[in-house]
Amino acid sequence: MSTFKFESCLAMPIRGLISLRQIEGADYHAQAQLLVYFDRFLVEQKPTELHLTQQIIEDYEKTLTHLAPRGQANRICVVRQLCKYLSRSDPMTYIPDSWRSPSSQAAFAPYIYSEDEVRALLAEAANLPPLGTLRGPTYQTLLGLLYSTGLRIGEAIALNLTDFHRNDNRLFVAQGKFRKDRWVPLSDSTAAALVQYMDRRRQTRPNAPDAPLFLNQRGNRLRHCTVCHTFHRLLQQCELVHDGHPRPRLHDLRHTFAVHRLLAWYREGGDINAKLVWLSTYMGHVGIHSTYLYLRPTAGLLEQVNSRFHHHYLQYLTSHTTQGDTL
């Protein structure tokens, strides 16, 4: 928890809330990260009030409209916890109403990128300024890794140099979601792209084995908010930002990986039901039901499903016609 830095006027009580939750035995790591976003909002806004008012909370809510409904709900939920904590010593603190989180079905509306769109994003990432620096290769490799492995963005930016095992073509993801460690095998092309990036990355300090794999321009580990901001700019350059629904997001690369992997298995003629278990394990899910949330019916998938159904139907007709002729 010491990795989180709070700098607003409420830095001390925020740290107090986190310490209290830790003493109570709660794993408050994810919630602390969400409080970092609120802390940065306060730093930028510089509120004149000494306590949290309704106006401050409502202004913060307006900054969350780019997030999915569940993401908005999670951020307001931890802010509400902070408000309740502050109200013990400051009764003037405004406590927002509970935010009713939408159902999983309503919350998940991913944008599934086409292969051409992914290639365009990677090409734009490679040309990020300043040209000739590590920034372009970093974002090109990071986005390519997210698409080809389905890693969570938090898992990807937490990778260290030593986590890539080039001799085995695999990554070690330490302390992923739910504090789970796992190995992620890489395709030959993905491993080759990482090797190429690593050879250039090691020319930049820090380059000790436990140094971050992906660096920002200051030589520090990439931050989630910075990656999201840069990705949004790339979407604009590729003309993928629109007012329709769903809107393209960084996390949708993980959804796209799952859909494209399923599509490839359909084309290979494999046993989809059996391989879904592999996909669930590979993506670090606690169960296959979580994996189902990532699968969306695209035109390509529906075509393969219809083709497979048609094939089995013809086999069924042929089999029963032959039996009828025999009789």
Angle at 262 between CA 260 and CA 268, to 5 degrees: 105
**Residues tagged active-site:** 152, 177, 251, 254, 285, 294
pLDDT of residue 1: 43
Residue 108 carries which side chain, given as an amino acid letter?
A: F
Q: What letter does residue 294 receive in the DSSP assignment? A: T
Within the chain, where are the H helices?
11-23, 29-45, 54-62, 69-87, 104-107, 115-126, 135-149, 153-157, 188-201, 224-237, 252-268, 272-282, 288-292, 299-326
* Percent of the residues in the chain that have a pLDDT greater than 90, as a whole number: 54
**Does the structure show a pLDDT above 70 at 301?**
no
pLDDT of residue 283: 92
Residue 44 carries which side chain, given as an amino acid letter?
A: E
Q: Which pLDDT band, with edges at 50, 70 and 90, does 322 fall under?
A: low
Instruction: Please count the other Cβ atoms lying within 10 Å of the Cβ belonging to residue 28.
Output: 20
Query: Could you state, in order of their start, the residue ranges of all structural domains in the chain?
Result: 11-107, 115-237, 256-326
**Across 65-71, average pLDDT:** 78
pLDDT tens, residue by residue, 150-163: 999 999 999 999 99
**Across 137-157, average pLDDT:** 96
**Across 263-269, average pLDDT:** 85
> Which tokens is 151 given?
């890693």
| Residue 94 and residue 53 in contact, taking contact as beta carbons nearer than 8 Å | yes
Pairwise CA distance, residues 85 & 87, whole Å: 6
Structure-derived torsion over alpha carbons of residues 26, 29, 35, 39, reported in degrees to the nearest 10: 130
**Does the structure show a pLDDT above 50 at 309?**
no
**Does the structure show a pLDDT above 60 at 323?**
no
pLDDT of residue 202: 94
Residue length, the chain?
Answer: 327
What single string gives the DSSP state of each residue in 193-248? HHHHHHHHHTTSS--STTSBSSB-TTSSB--HHHHHHHHHHHHHHTT---SSSSPP
pLDDT of residue 306: 54
At the top level of CATH, which class does the domain 115-237 belong to?
mainly alpha
| Residue 36 and residue 2 in contact, taking contact as beta carbons nearer than 8 Å | no
pLDDT of residue 178: 65
Average pLDDT, the chain: 85
**Across 8-12, average pLDDT:** 91
pLDDT tens, residue by residue, 199-231: 999 999 999 999 999 999 999 999 988 999 999
Pairwise CA distance, residues 277 & 45, whole Å: 47
pLDDT of residue 106: 47
| Residue 14 and residue 25 in contact, taking contact as beta carbons nearer than 8 Å | no
